[in-house]
Structure 1
Amino acid sequence: MKFTIDKKFKNKSLEEVLKALYIPKKELHWLRMSKDIKVNDQECKLNVILKENDEVYLPDFIQESAYKKSNKKASIVYEDHNIVVAEKPAGQKVHPNDENEHDTLVNDVINTVDSNYVEAVHRLDADTTGIVLLAKNAYMKKILDHMLANNQIRRIYKAHVKKNSGIRKQTIKAPLGRKPYTNIYHVTRDGKSAITHILSSQKKEHYDVLTVELETGRTHQIRAHLNHLNAPIIGDKLYGGSTAVNMHLFGYQLSFINPLDDKELTVTMKEK
């Protein structure tokens, strides 16, 4: 991992900085044994005291992902040294279920970016179109996993539902569980906590456009919650949405404060 020391980290040791970034003890111990840590191209140890704008290089404790490259290029929306945001088409899975699978978004991204390590931080259902955040090294994966678990990554979606749906700005707090012997999720008292924020509703000629934010990330959460409100997503065959070639649910926008430099990063899906 490569990064530049922000002013908030000046006069701190590298170990203090990595602890503040939630790098686990196991990885810190591995780094203590390493001889390849560099600050401004000079070898050093974790106890080195850092200055603002120092350039830090950490050797990768995991060199590459256990996935094969595909023969396709991914649509990259944003990329830097440590992260990449790619757009997933409808009908494609985010990541493989086994090492021999090579037609997922992760496989395409590995074939596109200059990194042998690519791991998805979150996922989209196979039928959902939209942007996905991926880490380009295992340190950043740890950092982003922590941020996602603590609701520090905003995920905004667009969903098309039937015209005059009556859906308004609201927060849906309704636990979700899977119906026995099906792949359908529904609201049930015995389900897991699920919170969905409907930020706005806009009327179009043939449908309503909902802007939706996830607070939790349950399987089929938006699809199940909108079905619960009698407004299944257009093209969502599983939940009774009206017929369309693809499901009209889009991973539209991601935003978060990058803890490496304290700058807000907002990435939006490309306009079609």
Structure 2
Amino acid sequence: MEYTMILPADQSEMTLRELLEHEWLVPRKVRHFLRTRKEVQINDQPALFHQIVTAGDKVTLVIEDSDYSYQPVLPGDPNQVDVCYEDQHLIIVNKPVGIKTHPNQPDEQDTLLNHVAAYLRPEQTQPYVVHRLDKETSGVVLFAKNPFVLPILGRMLEQKQLYRRYQAIVWGTIKKDQTIDKKIGRDRHDRRKRIIDPRNGKSAVTHVTIAKNNGETTNVYCVLDTGRTHQIRVHLASIGHPIVGDPLYQQRAAPRLMLHGRELHLVHPFTKERLVAIADPGLW
């Protein structure tokens, strides 16, 4: 597959080798293949790895399918894919409630990853998971469309450069905006659940902003500084306001877990364009 990137206006001058290794995180093995096969061009001319690149340069790479390993997934139903944003390198979709982000077994065929694989099949592109949502949660999920961009998106996730804003409807009245800073760990008595664990848990921070008080319930926005399993669900339950419909952390019946990944903000790893993906409709 051929990939062409125009280096953005704020690109620092560096060698092609530095660009591939440090900016684009191309593995050593793949850099070796690119060099020996002479499959890198700068401004449509064969490139040398010590050559300087700068803003406005056009860099073209040819990546072979065998350069990266890939665990194939069975194709699902492309009609279940609601695209919020898509380009050559990434796709952001609105996950429906009630399906998993990715399969846990190779024969599974009804997860979001399966459906995105089916959607991308006509262009012979494979999706790669960047982050996940719980099965009961709906909203924006980011996938890489090639292994080339995957480690860059992974680094952005680790460095908190992906801004995600969630909607939730909780029981009771929350009177003021607040930040919940409580460590989260595993529940030794129920492997499905997480608990507040000040001694052995991992750091977790959730910012809660009130959108509307409804009397019996409150609409809130949540933004995470960390990405622990069930973080929003556990944190809101810990302050006495569990999410409506949560099957694990409250007892009252409701049609669904009222938690939705409404927005995803990021800077595109190659164009440096600021992207905002919104998953409609939201909870309100």
Q: Give TM-score scaled by structure 2 length.
A: 0.86
Report SS of the residue matched to 1:111: helix
2:223 is aligned with 1:221:
no
Residues 21 and 259 of structure 1 are in contact (CA less than 8 Å); yes or no, is this contact kept in structure 2?
no
Aligned mates of 1:101, 1:176 — CA distance in 2: 30
Matches of residues 1-272 of structure 1 in structure 2 within 5 Å? 1-9=3-11, 11-26=13-28, 27-60=30-63, 61-62=67-68, 65-73=71-79, 74-113=81-120, 114-164=123-173, 166-182=174-190, 183-189=192-198, 190-204=200-214, 207-240=217-250, 242-271=252-281
Aligned mates of 1:17, 1:58 — CA distance in 2: 12
Residues 65 and 118 of structure 1 are in contact (CA less than 8 Å); yes or no, is this contact kept in structure 2?
no
Change (3 A) 1:25 1:141: closer
Residues 84 and 135 of structure 1 are in contact (CA less than 8 Å); yes or no, is this contact kept in structure 2?
yes
Residues 152 and 256 of structure 1 are in contact (CA less than 8 Å); yes or no, is this contact kept in structure 2?
yes
Alpha-carbon offset, residue 13 of structure 1: 2.9
What residue identity is the alignment partner of 2:156? M
Alpha-carbon offset, residue 191 of structure 1: 0.8
* Residue-by-residue CA offset, 1:61-107 (whole Å, 9 max, x unaligned): 32755212113331111001111001111111111123222211111
Alpha-carbon offset, residue 2 of structure 1: 3.3
Residues 93 and 140 of structure 2 are in contact (CA less than 8 Å); yes or no, is this contact kept in structure 1?
yes
> Which structure 1 segments of 5+ residues have no match?
none
Report SS of the residue matched to 1:103: coil
What residue identity is the alignment partner of 1:69? P
Residues 103 and 111 of structure 2 are in contact (CA less than 8 Å); yes or no, is this contact kept in structure 1?
yes
* Residue-by-residue CA offset, 1:6-38 (whole Å, 9 max, x unaligned): 123365332222234250542434433333223
Residues 65 and 117 of structure 1 are in contact (CA less than 8 Å); yes or no, is this contact kept in structure 2?
no
Q: Give TM-score scaled by structure 1 length.
A: 0.90
Among the aligned pairs, what percent are the same residue? 31
> Which structure 2 segments of 5+ residues have no match?
none
Residues 77 and 119 of structure 2 are in contact (CA less than 8 Å); yes or no, is this contact kept in structure 1?
no
What residue identity is the alignment partner of 2:180? I
- Between 43-52 and 66-75, report the one with greater CA deviation: 43-52
Q: Provide the aligned length of Structure 1 versus Structure 2.
A: 271
What residue identity is the alignment partner of 1:168? K
Q: What's the RMSD between the two structures over aligned residues?
A: 2.2
Report SS of the residue matched to 2:113: helix
